[in-house]
């Protein structure tokens, strides 16, 4: 048991941070989760829009992979960071932690470069790819390499006290732990990537890792069932929409500036039932533009913040520059967003006392700085029938 003033109950924030040297790794992990959740809730690059046939450029895929590794894998190595700080000289404990984290990141970054290259293929965006990867992750739990890697996650190494040998030993220690972590979790992380970094996949993957590495005895049966559940979800959640009816669309391309823009789209009389999807296709920009909140039939002179019920989604422009530049094997198709606006269309019909005949789409930027313009190929409203009323076995999203 530790005694003495250095390990007494902390009375100030600096004392608390000194007794918990892993605090900045926790901040790094929490920040990564915040970015991933923000992208998912805001209709980010993998959650709110669809690309044909790709989602992000190579560099953006690597960045997204890095965020996923920090968010999902770093929490299981906080004890490693504490051990490194305790056996290092106090004056260089933060440098030792940084060296261990650097070594830990090397194996994961190497795998991320390969996975990002695979994501450039249209096959990596098929629902079968994600489902197959989750099945592989479930089967991997019962292999000998997985068992060896899980044991290696607890391997210890002596660290030099100071000088370049201290940096070398810390880097090697982190690399050994990182390689063991890759050996246990690589199929699961690849599956989460092929699932488009969905929040469901990320949350489920973290729960599976927690069941395996957060318990004294790995709960492999629980992890196996959870992983198969994610495989089934990746198939069910990606069911394609049935053939839809185009109700109205813009006749030519237009551009968005860093200020509120509105366009009018005459539409056919909505048919009762089914679902309505608003599509914004082929968004391109050579510089990073602001994000745009999309509203339908916003009343004149009303602050958009006072009508959140009319907001249908957010155009998060993360990855737009990569999607604009032509790179093999995918062409420069830009970004394509789609939002389910069934509820808003029904609300507008109820408020107007009749079917909506003109759709006013407002684009509200989150800031007005700069002069970057976004080219939009087309905005369209598509109606998908309800197949359950027609005896069809298909179900829309």
Greater pLDDT, 160 or 175: 175
Instruction: Choose among 284, 316, 397: nearest CA to 64.
Output: 316
Average pLDDT, the chain: 80
User: What would the mean pLDDT of 172-182 be, rounded to a whole number?
Assistant: 91
Q: Is 394 among the domain residues?
A: no
pLDDT digits (tens, 9 = 90+) for 75-122: 888 888 888 888 888 788 888 888 888 899 999 999 999 998 888 777
pLDDT for 195 equals 86
Residue 252 shares a structural domain with residue 210: no
pLDDT for 363 beyond 60: yes
State percent of the chain over pLDDT 90.
16
User: What would the mean pLDDT of 320-349 be, rounded to a whole number?
Assistant: 77
Provide the domain count of the chain: 2
pLDDT digits (tens, 9 = 90+) for 222-250: 888 889 888 888 887 655 545 678 888 88
Instruction: Choose among 374, 301, 299: nearest CA to 336.
Output: 374
Q: Is 106 among the domain residues?
A: yes
pLDDT for 218 equals 67
Q: How far apart are CA 125 and CA 139, in angstroms?
A: 22
User: What would the mean pLDDT of 135-152 be, rounded to a whole number?
Assistant: 90
Domain extent for 334:
244-389
For residue 56, the number of C-alpha atoms closer than 13 Å in the C-beta half-sphere is: 26
Residue 159 shares a structural domain with residue 210: yes
Domain boundary among 190, 217, 236: 236
Q: Is 397 among the domain residues?
A: no
pLDDT for 94 equals 84
For residue 182, give the 3-state DSSP assignment.
helix
Q: Is 45 among the domain residues?
A: yes
Q: Is 46 among the domain residues?
A: yes
Residue 329 shares a structural domain with residue 381: yes
Residue 229 shares a structural domain with residue 302: no
pLDDT for 49 equals 38
Instruction: Choose among 288, 256, 282, 281: nearest CA to 59.
Output: 288
Residue 274 shares a structural domain with residue 368: yes
Residue 232 shares a structural domain with residue 250: no
Q: Is 395 among the domain residues?
A: no
What residues pair up with 340 in beta bridges, in sequence order? 277
Residue 31 shares a structural domain with residue 171: yes
Residue 176 shares a structural domain with residue 274: no
Residue 140 shares a structural domain with residue 95: yes
What's the predicted TM-score (pTM) here? 0.62
Domain boundary among 208, 236, 264: 236
The number of beta carbons lying within 10 Å of the beta carbon of residue 352 is 11
pLDDT for 48 equals 39
pLDDT for 217 beyond 90: no
Confidence of residue 379 (pLDDT cuts 50, 70, 90): very high
Residue 339 shares a structural domain with residue 311: yes
Confidence of residue 360 (pLDDT cuts 50, 70, 90): very high
pLDDT for 247 equals 87
Greater pLDDT, 153 or 41: 153
Q: Is 16 among the domain residues?
A: yes
Q: Give me the sign of the Cα torsion angle 196, 198, 204, 206.
A: positive
> 128 Cβ partners below 8 Å, 6+ apart?
235
Beta-strand pair 244-249/374-384: antiparallel
> 68 Cβ partners below 8 Å, 6+ apart?
32, 36, 189, 192, 193, 197, 202
Q: How far apart are CA 71 and CA 75, in angstroms?
A: 7
pLDDT digits (tens, 9 = 90+) for 260-299: 889 999 888 766 677 888 999 888 888 888 889 999 999 8
Domain boundary among 236, 264, 297: 236
Provide the greatest CA pair distance for the chain.
78
Residue 27 shares a structural domain with residue 103: yes
pLDDT digits (tens, 9 = 90+) for 305-316: 899 899 998 888
pLDDT for 61 beyond 80: yes
* CATH code (residue 378): 2.60.120
Q: How far apart are CA 76 and CA 72, in angstroms?
A: 8
Q: How far apart are CA 134 and CA 128, in angstroms?
A: 10
Residue 288 shares a structural domain with residue 207: no
Q: Choose the weakest-confidence range: 12-21, 80-89, 125-134.
A: 12-21
State percent of the chain over pLDDT 70.
84
pLDDT for 396 equals 32
Q: Is 366 among the domain residues?
A: yes
């Amino acid at each position: 048991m530790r005694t003495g003033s250095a390990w007494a109950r902390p009375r100030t924030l600096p004392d608390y941070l000194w007794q918990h040297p892993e605090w900045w790794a926790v901040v790094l992990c929490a920040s990564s989760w915040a970015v991933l959740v923000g992208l998912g809730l805001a209709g980010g690059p993998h959650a709110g829009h669809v690309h044909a046939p790709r989602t992000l450029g190579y560099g953006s895929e690597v960045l997204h992979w890095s965020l996923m590794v920090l968010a999902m894998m770093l929490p299981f190595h906080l004890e490693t960071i504490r051990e490194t700080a305790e056996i290092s000289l106090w004056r260089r404990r933060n440098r030792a932690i940084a060296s261990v984290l650097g070594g830990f990141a090397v194996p994961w970054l190497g795998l991320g470069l390969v996975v990002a290259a695979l994501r450039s293929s249209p096959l990596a965006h098929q629902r079968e790819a994600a489902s197959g990867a989750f099945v592989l992750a479930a089967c991997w739990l019962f292999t000998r390499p997985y068992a060896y890697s899980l044991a290696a996650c607890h391997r210890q190494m002596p660290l030099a006290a100071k000088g370049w040998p201290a940096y070398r030993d810390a880097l090697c220690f982190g690399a050994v732990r990182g390689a063991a972590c890759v050996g246990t979790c690589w199929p699961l992380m690849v599956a989460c990537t092929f699932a488009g970094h969905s929040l469901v996949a990320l949350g489920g993957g973290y729960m599976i890792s927690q069941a395996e590495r957060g318990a004294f005895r790995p709960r492999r049966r629980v992890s196996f069932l959870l992983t198969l559940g994610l495989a089934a979800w990746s198939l069910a959640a990606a069911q394609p929409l049935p053939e839809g009816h185009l109700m109205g669309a813009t006749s030519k391309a237009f551009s968005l500036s860093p200020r509120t823009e509105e366009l009018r789209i005459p539409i056919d009389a909505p048919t009762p039932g089914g679902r309505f999807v608003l599509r914004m296709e082929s968004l391109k920009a050579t510089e990073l533009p602001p994000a745009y909140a999309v509203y339908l039939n916003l009343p004149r002179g009303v602050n958009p913040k006072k009508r959140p019920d009319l907001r249908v989604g957010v155009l998060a422009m993360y990855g737009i520059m990569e999607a604009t530049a032509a790179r093999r094997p995918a062409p420069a198709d830009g970004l394509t967003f789609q939002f389910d606006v069934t509820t808003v269309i029904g609300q507008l019909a109820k408020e107007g006392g009749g079917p909506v005949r003109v759709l006013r789409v407002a684009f509200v930027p989150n800031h007005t700085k700069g002069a970057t313009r976004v080219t939009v190929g087309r905005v369209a409203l598509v109606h998908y029938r309800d197949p359950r009323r027609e005896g069809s076995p298909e179900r829309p999203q």
